[in-house]
Structure 1
């Protein structure tokens, strides 16, 4: 059960996307939802490809939807998958999240029943490289 309305909106969007995932090869459907700094929720699902592993992660889809809608900063991420284990973002998606978030960005991991665990991006990607590293190197 999720009592926080903001978290409930993320969970509902991620779970609805998960049910639409295209995962004929792995059979592992994933949904993700992100909230931007204006409070809008954007979501995506994994989309596999016969030329495995050329597919797209759910987090990448949600972030792309956010960017297409004009969002540029993440305030929260929720990822949901099936099975008993935690469905945490892969390494590439952790870096994607880092592009639009920071060490304090909440990354919430859920299953069909609800929230399983909460992390910050800093927990999942410590000492990360981000856009400000490039700005610092250019003297901007």
Structure 2
């Protein structure tokens, strides 16, 4: 896992927490926020957005990633995720796969709970056998 300075960890967590406040969660009340740092130095924010049909619900991590891709960012340095739970937030399987499309396995992912306690893991820790372009001979 790549190193990340403690100041940057706190900064990413603060911004992810701010993003969490924008969550649209009328069904679960369970808010999640994410902050993705691009290699350009830009920050991209996301919150979870629920839908009555449930399956169209979008996670905070994917919102942040899709915003970044739309803005032209293609390489990333770090991701922070914050939620209202007592344990550190971790990306769901779909988010892990989406992250693996654009992020290298050594990218740090900062997983935090509502109290600000966090664990830092790499994408490889969360998705050690990612399906990728290599598997499709691309």
Query: What is the TM-score of this pair, normalised by structure 1?
Result: 0.88
CA–CA distance in structure 1, aligned partners of residues 105 and 127 of structure 2: 8
2:106 aligned to which of 101, 104, 107 = 104
- The unaligned stretches of length 5 or more in structure 1 are none
1:121 aligned to which of 111, 120, 123 = 123
Q: Which residue of 1 aligns with 2:93?
A: 91
Contact 1:32–1:58 (Cα < 8 Å) also in 2: yes
- The unaligned stretches of length 5 or more in structure 2 are none
Q: Which runs of at least 4 in structure 1 moved beyond 4 Å after TM superposition?
A: none
Larger CA Rg, structure 1 vs 2: 1
* Mean Cα deviation higher: 30-39 or 108-117: 108-117
Displacement of 1:59? 0.4
Q: Deviations over 1:37-89 (max 9, x none)?
A: 11111010000001112111000100011112210012111110012122200
* Mean Cα deviation higher: 112-121 or 38-47: 112-121
1:12 aligned to which of 3, 14, 24 = 14
Displacement of 1:132? 3.6
Q: Which residue of 2 aligns with 1:70?
A: 72
CA–CA distance in structure 1, aligned partners of residues 117 and 69 of structure 2: 26
Contact 1:106–1:118 (Cα < 8 Å) also in 2: yes
CA–CA distance in structure 2, aligned partners of residues 6 and 31 of structure 1: 17
Displacement of 1:104? 0.5
Aligned in 2, Cα 1:80/1:60: closer, same or farther, shift over 3 Å?
A: same
CA–CA distance in structure 2, aligned partners of residues 61 and 67 of structure 1: 10
CA–CA distance in structure 2, aligned partners of residues 43 and 21 of structure 1: 11
Displacement of 1:115? 4.0
| Higher RCO by CA contacts (8 Å cutoff, separation 6 or greater) | 2
Query: What is the TM-score of this pair, normalised by structure 2?
Result: 0.89
CA–CA distance in structure 1, aligned partners of residues 13 and 30 of structure 2: 18
